[in-house]
Amino acid sequence: MKLSRRDFLKASLVGGSLYIAGSVTGVTGSAAFAQTTEDIPGPLPLIEVGGLIRPPGALPEDKFRAKCIGCNVCVNVCHVMKYDAISLLGLNLPSPPFTKESWSAFFNSGTPHVKAMRDFPCGLCMECPKHCPTGALQKVERENVTMGMALIDFGLCFGWNGDVCLSCSKACPMGGKIFDFYNGEWGNQPYINEKCVGCGLCVKYCPLGGSAIKVVTRQQYEKVKPAYVDDFKKLLSMQTEERYNVVYGQNLPNIMSRGRLIEREYR
Amino acid sequence: MSTDRAAERQSSRATVSGQQSNPPIPPLQKGGKGGFLKLSILRRFVLLGVVVLFLLQFLRINVLVGGLSGSLAVWFVKLIDIFAYLESLVASRDFSTIALLSVLPVMVIYLIFGRAFCGWVCPMDFLFELVDKTKDWSKVKIKVSPRAGYVVMGAFLIASFLLGVPFFTRYFSHLTNFFTLLTSGVFLSLDLPADYMVTFFAGASIFSLLILEYLFPRLWCRVLCPVGKMDGLFNKISLLRLKFVEGSCGECNLCEQRCYMNVRIVPYVVDQPSLRDTNCIYCGRCTEGCAMRSKIIKMKLGR
């Protein structure tokens, strides 16, 4: 029996359609498995993360996804180092309104990112860039990592609402140089400056339910920076009366409602 | 010695061309085995060993970390599949020393063992063999030229170049998907951060390959898989090869019947001292077949 062109086409059709069918069932399957996480809205709900938080030492996004072959080395290296921060992205088939974002999500499928900083932040052991076989992650000094930028939600942070907490600064692997403290009658008021590497350890160790810190990508930070800094300066220069209303009127009820989750078990 | 062999080969060729009576086929030997251990069983132990070494990484023992498309051996030697390297190279349009250093050890392995990777380490070979057992495939022979595979390979490289992502390795590769399935399965069961989509997609692509195998046996290995095609090129110069020791080939065709990859072995036996075919995966099934009668084909390392 000779395989004619028609048979070959049939073979490729069958293979291709099965492939697509499989991935589509994957889509619906994952929707059915949708994780039921805490229903608490995260910190800074108005600010989007603005992309993917890549493992340390990642090349710029275009180069990164061109070089990364999705071989799982970084994921498993992270597991061996007992951090488990990195996980691969699932398949995102481009959906009908073929926007630039949907294609970009498709091309990002199978690349590593730091998925759940609340439970699994990056420990900055710097083993994954050292061991990446493709060069998609480049060796880099700990201080020069630019995974992202941690932003504090001033409305939720204990330090900005009449308390002395210091959890984030204690968790920070970079030590004192990341944090600026504005001590005053309204608390120790931490502020994370631009030397932040975005590892997310502070996100994990924030005692507030759902955390008061959010890590966004560097590009996103450049976009939201003016409004964020403006907010920060406005709070510092506020009159006592006004500040009292902000803290007791708006923030504390918010914080108290999340407080129940303080007893949440850390992993 | 060598003149003897040459003369013998000459005579055997003469008999073939002259269509005279072939040398008598030696009788079937009972209990004829290839060596101390049958190669097809030894092969499975090697595969099991490799998979177990990869599984040890989940117990945080770092002998082999990663998967077969890219891995890290003993926490020191980076390895990356050659086709994955090529795709990554054309996709990024940028030369990277790290990737080159990690592809070199793999090339050395292939220079020694040729395409033995496919027969001995690739997990799909084992899965395909399981599928093969469900049906009698001896009558179904699909004759697509293996050269069509180079077109597929080129198409994937062009797609990678145009799209700017390593297209085959990231989405279709059985090697990536098999080990991604393992990893994400373990991560999900341990309640570590992993995406359900990854598991589903990897599982779906492996499953669709098995269906393809059921409909068209070994079409994937023989023609389509670009990883195997790439490795096959090393068969031409590799140290490992099938040698034909002295003896008369009765052209009983037992070797070709047992060959998964549809290699035409008999013409090589008649004409040449050793087999240099890009589709040979050194699974050793032909030597087992041959051992049943005349023990001509042997797998040998070295010049």
B287 and B188 together in one domain:
no
Structure tokens that stand for B294 in this block: 């005349």
- Band (pLDDT 50/70/90 cuts) for residue B294 is confident
B228 and B251 together in one domain:
no
B103 and B202 together in one domain:
yes
Q: Is residue B194 part of a domain?
A: yes
Q: Does residue B95 sit at the A interface (CB-CB below 8 Å)?
A: no
Angstrom distances, CA of residue B222 to CA of B135, B219, B228, B236: 19, 5, 8, 17
Q: Which residues of A touch B208 (CB under 8 A)?
A: 15, 18-19, 21-22
Q: Is residue B1 part of a domain?
A: no
Across the range B208-232, mean pLDDT stands at 92
Structure tokens that stand for B130 in this block: 């399981």
∠ CA A159-A165-A166, rounded to 5°: 100
Model pLDDT, residue B16: 43
Give the integer Cα–Cα distance in Å for B64 and B57: 7
Q: Is residue B168 part of a domain?
A: yes
| Distant-in-sequence contacts of A28-32, Cβ < 8 A, 24+ apart | A29/B196, A29/B200, A30/A90, A30/B195, A30/B196, A30/B197, A30/B200
Site of tokens 């099934």:
B285
Angstrom distances, CA of residue B229 to CA of B84, B153, B225, B234, B267: 13, 8, 6, 9, 22
Q: Is residue B196 part of a domain?
A: yes
Q: Does residue B176 sit at the A interface (CB-CB below 8 Å)?
A: yes
Give the integer Cα–Cα distance in Å for B242 and B116: 11
Model pLDDT, residue B34: 45
Across the range B172-194, mean pLDDT stands at 93
The Cβ of residue B33 has, within 10 Å, a number of other Cβ atoms equal to 13
B225 and B281 together in one domain:
no
Q: How far apart are the first and last CA of chain A?
A: 60
Last residue of a domain, one of B203, B218, B233: B233
**Measuring CA to CA, which residue among B274, B237, B255 is closest to residue B5?**
B274
Burial A231-266 (b: 16+ CB within 10 A, else e): ebeebeeeeeeebeebbeeebeeebeebeeeeeeee
Q: Is residue B4 part of a domain?
A: no
Give the integer Cα–Cα distance in Å for B119 and B117: 6
Residue B174 CB-half CA count within 13 A: 23
Model pLDDT, residue B14: 43
Q: Is residue B15 part of a domain?
A: no
Last residue of a domain, one of B233, B261, B293: B233
Number of domains observed in the structure of chain B: 2
Q: What DSSP state is assigned to residue A44? A: S
Model pLDDT, residue A36: 38
- State the pTM of this model: 0.84
Element (H, E) at A191: strand A190-192
B53 and B194 together in one domain:
yes
**Measuring CA to CA, which residue among A120, A71, A101 is closest to residue B72?**
A71
Across the range B287-292, mean pLDDT stands at 84
B190 and B299 together in one domain:
no
What domain range includes position B160?
A: 40-233
A73 within 8 A of B66, measured Cβ to Cβ? yes
Instruction: For residue A80, give how far its alpha carbon lies from the nearest alpha carbon of chain B (Å).
Output: 5
For chain B, give the mean pLDDT: 86
Q: At residue B270, does pLDDT exceed 90?
A: no
Q: Choose the closest CB to A3 out of B66, B143, B208.
A: B143
Across the range B211-219, mean pLDDT stands at 91
Q: What is the dihedral of CA B98, A78, A66, A196, to 10 degrees?
A: -100
Q: Which residues contact B107 (CB under 8 A, 6 or more apart)?
A: B82, B234
Q: At residue B20, does pLDDT exceed 70?
A: no
B77 and B196 together in one domain:
yes
B148 and B96 together in one domain:
yes
Q: How many CB pairs under 8 A join A and B?
A: 220
Give the integer Cα–Cα distance in Å for B6 and B17: 16
B223 and B291 together in one domain:
no
Percent helix, strand and coil across chain B, each rounded to 5?
Answer: 60, 10, 35
B253 within 8 A of B297, measured Cβ to Cβ? no
Angstrom distances, CA of residue B289 to CA of A36, A50, B17, B46, B257: 57, 61, 25, 21, 8
What residue in B sits closest to A129 (Cα-Cα)?
Answer: B98
B215 and B294 together in one domain:
no
Last residue of a domain, one of B233, B253, B274: B233
B183 and B284 together in one domain:
no
Q: At residue B1, does pLDDT exceed 50?
A: no
The A residues from 21 to 80 touching B (CB cutoff 8 Å) are 21-23, 25-27, 29-30, 33, 62-63, 65-73, 75-77, 79-80
B129 and B268 together in one domain:
no
Q: Which residues contact B102 (CB under 8 A, 6 or more apart)?
A: A133, A134, B70, B78, B79, B80, B85
CATH level 3 topology of A148-267: Alpha-Beta Plaits (3.30.70)
Name the E strands within B98-204.
Answer: none
Across the range B214-225, mean pLDDT stands at 91
What residue in B sits closest to A13 (Cα-Cα)?
Answer: B212
- Band (pLDDT 50/70/90 cuts) for residue B256 is confident
Instruction: For residue B157, give how far its alpha carbon lies from the nearest alpha carbon of chain A (Å).
Output: 12
Segment B47-66, tens digit of pLDDT:
999 999 999 999 999 999 99
Give the integer Cα–Cα distance in Å for A96 and B127: 36
Q: Which residues contact B166 (CB under 8 A, 6 or more apart)?
A: A66, A67, A68, A69, A70, B84, B87, B88, B91, B160
- Band (pLDDT 50/70/90 cuts) for residue B23 is low
The residues of chain A scoring below 50 in pLDDT are: 1, 25-37, 265, 267
The A residues from 194 to 253 touching B (CB cutoff 8 Å) are none
What residue in A sits closest to B102 (Cα-Cα)?
Answer: A133
Structure tokens that stand for B99 in this block: 């990737």
Give the integer Cα–Cα distance in Å for A41 and A30: 22
Structural domain boundaries in chain A: 51-146, 148-267
